[in-house]
A and B are shown apart, each in its own frame.
Chain A
């Protein structure tokens, strides 16, 4: 089920017929500050999107609205044909299908690694414990840290913790994975191990939205790169086109700042 290195041409193709996520006219305000303005986005099943932009551009807010960690004030967000709103049962169903990896990992410090991973499956998907543990161990193998299963998060390095966080999200068998700057809090030598896991996920055809500054990952794995500025999507293009020929001046400025 794994491929060794992920090249854009070797990745499975997204299925544009059935979109996983549809966002129409999405807006979000914090008091007077408009974090999102009229955002339209369609994410196809199996599509991998990298979102970049200067800080305050709304990129984190965008993906946090998808699983309702932030509540959008305007527009519609539809995930797997279910609308994201305040209705609790539907929200739980959506969250069970959308996995999220945070910048600060947010592992539960009072539980072991294994317990972190089986919490969701046993309490939300109501799996028997033995089955959940087997699935969790398989995923921990996949992120290459099965031997840490009984340790506490505090005993692991940052890179290891983030890989556990990815495994924890995958344990829920999501159809969409959201990544909110997954490597920004890591020491440089640990960034690669996390990106490798993400590349593998990408090559297996997972629908992914990744907010990141890691442009190497974008070049290797993304179907589309999106540039956001001041709450709006300014540019959206395949990586070759995005990096070689950005349309907007602001995109060019941003790229020149981060690609030095």
Chain B
């Protein structure tokens, strides 16, 4: 038998076996479903959900449809993922730099953090934090965190700007100020290209905007309202409240993920050969210029693939919250499947949703990678 024929036969067998198993499984599944009186179909998605979710970021009540409940669940997962990704990237980047500092205290601190993340299961960390909160927080009052924030068994409350009335003027001024700051920086870079000297426009713009914001706040303060949380026993009235479960999840996952991101940043920094530093110094660049122009751009390229996996891991680890009681997508889908008995459709939906989320993250990271190639 020639090689080509043999290859063809192997593949035919593999395909045949795969299809055969699939057919067998499908047949058994249909038989089992019939025996239990469950039908296949997607119309159940528009039926009334009929179950409650402990907390949601989108408005939800049990009268909403199943499909909306799933959307709410995805929203819950995405909020957690985005927040943890942002916080742990900053914290992890900082830790990664600390890890390679020559100060033994800071390097040891970062190292301990990394080893802790590596060697403990995340679900344990969440359970530990949750029970710690329960034991440390007073039962019948709220602990003040300073700056008007409160932490109690009911949740974390922070003061937030009430956007009614003149608050919205302040908010818009802040936005405009940000834009002015960025544009000033851009103009300064253009001028630097032309003359070689960077004018201090960005610093001046920043100072002016800051002054304006402060002045506006003072001038408008009679008319501004802050939604301040006020402690009423263990209850908190007002302010922006997140549940203890959410708080635990964010803090726990951030701490956990930061350890891994720190390692990624460290490996990225160390992978830049010494020669690059030396060439930059030999040209007369300062340490800061060398970091900014030569080292960090190269480091970003190196760390994008492992950062991609870490962000995907955050999505996966967000499902652990089932142990504490937050309603992420997995919990929502699971509850729906249990109520409607639509196991097959539900499974497919779960797989598709997580695939979609992870593919989106990979796509975004790829775009970031490409933008580095162009620059």
- A–B in direct contact per CB < 8 Å: yes
Residues of A in contact with B (beta carbons under 8 Å apart)? 67-69, 88, 92-93, 95-96, 98-100, 102, 104, 106-110, 119-120, 122-132, 168-169, 172
Contact A106 B196 (CB under 8 A): no
Contact A110 B282 (CB under 8 A): no
Q: Can you name the residue of chain B whose Cβ is closest to the Cβ of A130? A: B194
Inter-chain pairs besides A106-B275, A120-B283, A123-B293, 5 sampled, C-beta below 8 Å: A69-B278, A92-B286, A104-B275, A120-B284, A122-B192
Contact with A along B266-282 (1 / 0, CB 8 A): 00000001011011111
Q: Give chain A residues whose Cβ lies under 8 Å from the Cβ of B196.
A: 122, 125-129, 131-132
Contact among A69, A104, A108, A122 for B294, CB-based, below 8 A: A108
The CA of A34 and the CA of B278, in the complex, are separated in Å by: 22
Interface assignment of B285: CB less than 8 Å from any CB of chain A: yes
Q: Give chain A residues whose Cβ lies under 8 Å from the Cβ of B297.
A: 110
The CA of A128 and the CA of B190, in the complex, are separated in Å by: 10
The CA of A108 and the CA of B289, in the complex, are separated in Å by: 14
Tell whether A110 pairs with B301 under 8 Å between CB atoms, given A96-B284, A124-B284. Answer: yes
How near does chain A come to B102, taking the closest CB pair, in angstroms?
A: 15
Contact among B197, B279, B298 for A102, CB-based, below 8 A: B279
How near does chain A come to B304, taking the closest CB pair, in angstroms?
A: 13
Q: Can you name the residue of chain B whose Cβ is closest to the Cβ of A93? A: B284
The CA of A128 and the CA of B195, in the complex, are separated in Å by: 4
Q: Give chain B residues whose Cβ lies under 8 Å from the Cβ of A102.
A: 275, 278-279, 282
Q: Write 8 A-B pairs (CB below 8 A) sorted by A numbering.
A: A69-B282, A93-B284, A95-B281, A96-B283, A110-B372, A123-B289, A130-B193, A132-B196
Contact among B192, B289, B298 for A110, CB-based, below 8 A: B298
Residues of B in contact with A (beta carbons under 8 Å apart)? 192-197, 273, 275-276, 278-286, 289, 293-294, 297-298, 301, 372, 375
Contact A108 B284 (CB under 8 A): no
Q: Give chain B residues whose Cβ lies under 8 Å from the Cβ of A104.
A: 273, 275
Contact A109 B278 (CB under 8 A): no
Considering the complex of A and B, which 3 residue pairs feature the smallest CB-CB distances, nearest first? A106-B279, A120-B283, A106-B275
Q: Can you name the residue of chain A whose Cβ is closest to the Cβ of B279? A: A106
The CA of A47 and the CA of B240, in the complex, are separated in Å by: 73
How near does chain A come to B193, taking the closest CB pair, in angstroms?
A: 4
Q: Give chain B residues whose Cβ lies under 8 Å from the Cβ of A69.
A: 278, 281-282
Contact A124 B285 (CB under 8 A): yes
Contact A108 B276 (CB under 8 A): yes
Tell whether A100 pairs with B282 under 8 Å between CB atoms, given A123-B293, A126-B196, A126-B197. Answer: yes
Q: Give chain B residues whose Cβ lies under 8 Å from the Cβ of A169.
A: 282-283
The CA of A168 and the CA of B289, in the complex, are separated in Å by: 17
Q: Give chain B residues whose Cβ lies under 8 Å from the Cβ of A122.
A: 192-193, 196
Q: Give chain A residues whose Cβ lies under 8 Å from the Cβ of B283.
A: 95-96, 119-120, 124, 168-169, 172
How near does chain B come to A92, taking the closest CB pair, in angstroms?
A: 5
Tell whether A99 pairs with B282 under 8 Å between CB atoms, given A106-B276, A108-B276, A109-B298. Answer: yes
How near does chain B come to A135, taking the closest CB pair, in angstroms?
A: 12
Q: Give chain A residues whose Cβ lies under 8 Å from the Cβ of B301.
A: 110
Q: Give chain B residues whose Cβ lies under 8 Å from the Cβ of A107.
A: 279
Q: Give chain B residues whose Cβ lies under 8 Å from the Cβ of A96.
A: 283-284
Q: Give chain B residues whose Cβ lies under 8 Å from the Cβ of A123.
A: 285, 289, 293
Contact A88 B276 (CB under 8 A): no
The CA of A67 and the CA of B279, in the complex, are separated in Å by: 11
How near does chain B come to A68, taking the closest CB pair, in angstroms?
A: 8
The CA of A67 and the CA of B281, in the complex, are separated in Å by: 9
Q: Give chain B residues whose Cβ lies under 8 Å from the Cβ of A109.
A: 298
Contact among B276, B284, B298 for A95, CB-based, below 8 A: B284
Q: Give chain B residues whose Cβ lies under 8 Å from the Cβ of A99.
A: 282
Q: Give chain B residues whose Cβ lies under 8 Å from the Cβ of A128.
A: 193-196
Q: Give chain A residues whose Cβ lies under 8 Å from the Cβ of B375.
A: 110
The CA of A69 and the CA of B290, in the complex, are separated in Å by: 14
Contact B294 A95 (CB under 8 A): no
Tell whether A120 pairs with B193 under 8 Å between CB atoms, given A102-B278, A104-B275, A110-B298. Answer: no
The CA of A92 and the CA of B282, in the complex, are separated in Å by: 9
The CA of A104 and the CA of B372, in the complex, are separated in Å by: 24
Q: Can you name the residue of chain B whose Cβ is closest to the Cβ of A120? A: B283
Q: Give chain A residues whose Cβ lies under 8 Å from the Cβ of B293.
A: 119, 123
How near does chain A come to B354, taking the closest CB pair, in angstroms?
A: 34
How near does chain A come to B292, taking the closest CB pair, in angstroms?
A: 9
The CA of A107 and the CA of B273, in the complex, are separated in Å by: 11
Q: Give chain B residues whose Cβ lies under 8 Å from the Cβ of A106.
A: 273, 275-276, 278-279
Q: Give chain B residues whose Cβ lies under 8 Å from the Cβ of A95.
A: 281-284
The CA of A197 and the CA of B365, in the complex, are separated in Å by: 43
Contact B284 A88 (CB under 8 A): no
Q: Give chain A residues whose Cβ lies under 8 Å from the Cβ of B285.
A: 119-120, 123-124
How near does chain A come to B191, taking the closest CB pair, in angstroms?
A: 10
Q: Can you name the residue of chain B whose Cβ is closest to the Cβ of A67? A: B282
How near does chain B come to A77, taking the closest CB pair, in angstroms?
A: 15
The CA of A99 and the CA of B283, in the complex, are separated in Å by: 7
Q: Can you name the residue of chain A whose Cβ is closest to the Cβ of B194? A: A128
Q: Can you name the residue of chain A whose Cβ is closest to the Cβ of B298? A: A110
Q: Can you name the residue of chain A whose Cβ is closest to the Cβ of B283? A: A120
Q: Can you name the residue of chain A whose Cβ is closest to the Cβ of B278? A: A69
The CA of A179 and the CA of B83, in the complex, are separated in Å by: 50
The CA of A98 and the CA of B194, in the complex, are separated in Å by: 26
Q: Give chain A residues whose Cβ lies under 8 Å from the Cβ of B194.
A: 128-130
How near does chain A come to B18, taking the closest CB pair, in angstroms?
A: 42
The CA of A98 and the CA of B142, in the complex, are separated in Å by: 65
How near does chain A come to B282, taking the closest CB pair, in angstroms?
A: 4
Q: Give chain A residues whose Cβ lies under 8 Å from the Cβ of B280.
A: 108
Q: Output the residue of A68, A88, A129, A172 with the most chain B CB within 10 A.
A: A129
Q: Can you name the residue of chain B whose Cβ is closest to the Cβ of A172? A: B283
